[in-house]
Amino acid sequence: MSPPTLSDLQQVIRRIEAKTRVAASARASASLEELVGGEVEATERGGVLVVRRRFPLGHSHGAQPLVHAREASREWLRLLARTEGAAPDPRRLLYLDTETTGLAGGTGTYAFMVGAGYFDGDDFEVRQYFMRDLDEEPALLAALDGLLGGFEGVVTYNGTGFDLPLLETRFVLGRRRWRGEGFHLDLLPAARRLWRDGLADCRLGTVESHVLGFARADDLPGFMIPGAYFDYLRRKRPGDIPRVFEHNRHDILSLAALTGWVAGAVGRAPVPELAPWELAGLGHLLEGADPERGEACFRMALERGLQWPARERLLVRLAWGEKRRTRWAEARALWEEAARTQRGFDARPWEEMAKIDEHRQRDLARARAVVEEALGHARTHGASARVLDALAHRLARLHRRAEVRV
């Protein structure tokens, strides 16, 4: 077969351009309901556009199967939510995310789209409620009110600071009772514990890419979403609204997948295949409920090469724990490593070493050597006069004790 000529290539390009124009024309003439595959559903306060999608339990969002969220231990869900009360069955949780007209909050901010996901039998359903105009808010709130009443708790990402207060405000303004007093798992605090030292930020998109291995294709950035909605209100054309639906749907799926991942990691901790900073984060999540496993995570993070400044913070934390248990040799070793890990100067590890040498080991010479070295580092790093005076006072007292002993 002879190679294609320039004329052949031009004909192919023209056919592709013609198909693109036809597709664009079809999108322009199609209604929003047709484009997003939704229907207008009736409520006691009018109609609201609802889009429903169902995903089998075996569906993986990135590399994480959704089923792990349904199988999450209630004990670990309670720990992650930092609540004293019992966590509900995972099948009674509603995964919630809003798209709004702005990020400032307050009475002038609307939640024009509310996405909700939940386990229903052998499927995970994502249901999205959309206001085609601002006067449809009563219908959206009525639909959402009925949905919330069927669950025992919600899962969000920064819902404590944004989504739930906003929805509560809209419910109050709409003269409806807000049902948000129950169990609430906000995944953002756990994400900050696990990934603040290893990722550029803890936005959901960043975390899902690193943890779940999920990459969004042609995603509409969050900061552009309010503008897309206002453009839709002005022109009454779908525009970028289908992409807003897709963005919101991915948020809901990421919430469920991330819940399964974090709860699973907490249940299996310490997990050797995790990065050092993730192990340290797991230790922080566990130390109150399961101190033994929390400490095991801390020590594994150090063994795996946790870097400064997180390494220094962890060494100090472990040293305080050994001091409380009166394990002086172990505490001193940790204080010394913390002191020699420093890039600046912190007097605490040096002072603690000197105290152990003086009061527990009865080794005044070693205590003096520690304080003398600490003074040298303090002067090199320009420590405050208060720190220098405290170290000089300790050194003078040690000299006097040594003279008295002689």
DSSP letters spanning 86-139: PPPPGGGEEEEEEEES-SS-STT--EEEEEEEEEETTEEEEEEEE-SSGGGHHH
Please give the pLDDT value at position 10. Answer: 65
Q: What's the rounded Cα separation, in Å, for the pair 306 and 276?
A: 5
Class of domain 308-405: mainly alpha
Q: What is the pTM of this model?
A: 0.85
Please give the pLDDT value at position 28. Answer: 54
Please give the pLDDT value at position 85. Answer: 85
Fold that domain 30-268 belongs to in CATH? Nucleotidyltransferase; domain 5 (3.30.420)
Please give the pLDDT value at position 288. Answer: 86
- The mean pLDDT of the chain is 91
Please give the pLDDT value at position 172. Answer: 95
Please give the pLDDT value at position 87. Answer: 93
CB atoms within 10 A of CB 190: 26
CB atoms within 10 A of CB 200: 8
Please give the pLDDT value at position 6. Answer: 65
Q: What's the rounded Cα separation, in Å, for the pair 10 and 16?
A: 10
Distant-in-sequence contacts of 25-33, Cβ < 8 A, 24+ apart: 27/238, 28/237, 30/238, 31/238, 32/132, 32/232, 32/238, 32/241, 32/242
Residues in the chain: 406
Task: Characterize 225-249 residue by residue with b for buried, 16 or more Cβ atoms within 10 angstroms of its Cβ, and e for exposed.
Answer: bbebbeebeeeeebbbbbbbbbbbb
**Ranges of residues in the chain whose predicted pLDDT is under 70:** 1-6, 8-29, 105, 405-406
Please give the pLDDT value at position 322. Answer: 95
Q: Where are the domains of the chain?
A: 30-268, 270-302, 308-405
Please give the pLDDT value at position 286. Answer: 94
